[in-house]
Amino acid sequence: MGSITADPSPPRPARQPLHSCIPPLIMGTATFNTQYVPNPFDLPALSIVSRALDLGVRAFDTSPYYGPSEIILGDALAHPSITTRHARDSYFLVTKAGRVTGNEFDYSPAWVRYSVLRSCERLHTPYLDLVYMHDVEFVSPAEVLAAVRELRRLRAEGVLRYVGISGYPVAQLCALAEMVRRETGEPLDAVLNYGHYTIQNTTLGSAAMARFEAAVVDVVLNASMLGMGLLTTRGADAGPMATWHPSPEGLRKASQDLVPIAAGADEKLEVVAIRWALDNWSRVGASKGSCTSRLPSGERVGVSVMGISNVAELEETCRVFNSVVEGLEPETADVEQTKRRQWSLDRRQKIQGLVEKMWAVLGEWKDYSWSSPEPGFVNARKPADVGVTPDDGILAKHAMKSPVQVQVDELPLEDVVAV
């Protein structure tokens, strides 16, 4: 099978570290999926994506596992109202590979290659900025290693730029990051963890970050600050989430007990949860975060992924994140900037006080993590089907392309959203 190969003359510029170009706030599109909304095609995706770009959000995260998410996001980004104003190299596209369905995984090099090329087709892009192997805890370390190596082969061909892994159990992500570096001599560019730096669970803290540091992972990202809908006023038992959310009944009840604590301070639980996670991760995750021109040279800010399902959520998240960064900025003689910085610091103090009250209510459920995968899990992918790809023309189309110079320019990204 043929592939795109880079013309050695002239040579490609040296690849800069991921932390120097990945934006600190990434819009997640797992919400473009029936797991979160009855009909994701009814979402105003074009309006959401357009507004995100207008606000300076320059990164989008998706996955083939998220139902039609890649298709919906890709169609929005390919709309003339977007393409006439925003070149492809002005934003960062992130997707995943390996998870086929809820209980089916294929980490074979053949499937990984097919999945990545299919994602390029769905997202209407010649290249992807970052690709994770999706939910690595469900397969063996050997399968993860083989898949990462295939991603790196695709990287060498110019199909993608950076390679990472994603999943839920923090300790397992640490161990796999250590293994990849040990076995290949090259560290991972990125590790995405979800649900472990929230007001309910802070496992993705200093001990885990020390292991990622030792494994020389460049960027560690925090996702699902609302615990996949657990830490919201309506809770996990309301809406489509009730049928699939992995949290046990006791944790769901304890999380709902946090709602009146927030209300007693004229707050909403989701507002408190988002503000606390964005604010604290911006500092706790800074050593494995993103560079930003808003901070002194060399300083970094933790990278967060926030799921969005409407424009109002997007605007509120951007406003909060911008305020968080104002609290990180150094003191200045500018009066207005000083006021904004102090407001952010005061807000941090108020939210921290509320969250400490919530921790007391959570009790034994504080820092609780459910099992992933559940005991007894068996991969539903039949051995005979592993590595078998559809005859839909995607691989053939890629094979027919003539060797060309693959030039992926470094992204002129806006560092922090502006509202």
* CATH class of domain segment(s) 18-246+270-322: alpha beta
Q: How much is the pLDDT for 292?
A: 85
Q: What is the mean pLDDT of the chain?
A: 92
Report the alpha-carbon distance of residue 98 to residue 65 in Å, rounded.
9
Q: How much is the pLDDT for 403?
A: 53
pLDDT tens per residue across span 249-307: 999 999 999 999 999 999 999 999 999 999 999 999 999 999 988 888 889 999 999 99
Calculate ∠ Cα 297-91-212, nearest 5°. 55
Which is nearest to 268 in space by CA: 237, 232, 306? 232
Report the alpha-carbon distance of residue 62 to residue 91 in Å, rounded.
14
66 is an active site residue:
yes
Report the alpha-carbon distance of residue 247 to residue 148 in Å, rounded.
30
Three-class SS of residue 193? strand
Residues 95-113 have a mean pLDDT of: 98
Given a contact cutoff of 8 angstroms between Cβ atoms, the answer to whether 240 and 268 are in contact is no
The yes-or-no verdict on residue 85 having pLDDT over 50 is yes
Indicate the residue type of 317. Answer: T
Given a contact cutoff of 8 angstroms between Cβ atoms, the answer to whether 390 and 100 are in contact is no
pLDDT tens per residue across span 116-132: 999 999 999 999 999 99
Q: Where are the domains of the chain?
A: 18-246+270-322
Which positions ≥6 away from 168 have C-beta within 8 Å? 135, 137, 193, 194, 195, 196, 369, 372
Indicate the residue type of 83. Answer: T
DSSP state of 244: T
Report the alpha-carbon distance of residue 83 to residue 317 in Å, rounded.
24
Three-class SS of residue 321? helix
Residues 51-55 have a mean pLDDT of: 98
Report the alpha-carbon distance of residue 120 to residue 126 in Å, rounded.
6
Report the alpha-carbon distance of residue 358 to residue 404 in Å, rounded.
57
Active-site position among 65, 66, 91, 194: 66
The yes-or-no verdict on residue 408 having pLDDT over 70 is no
pLDDT tens per residue across span 354-377: 999 999 999 999 999 999 999 999
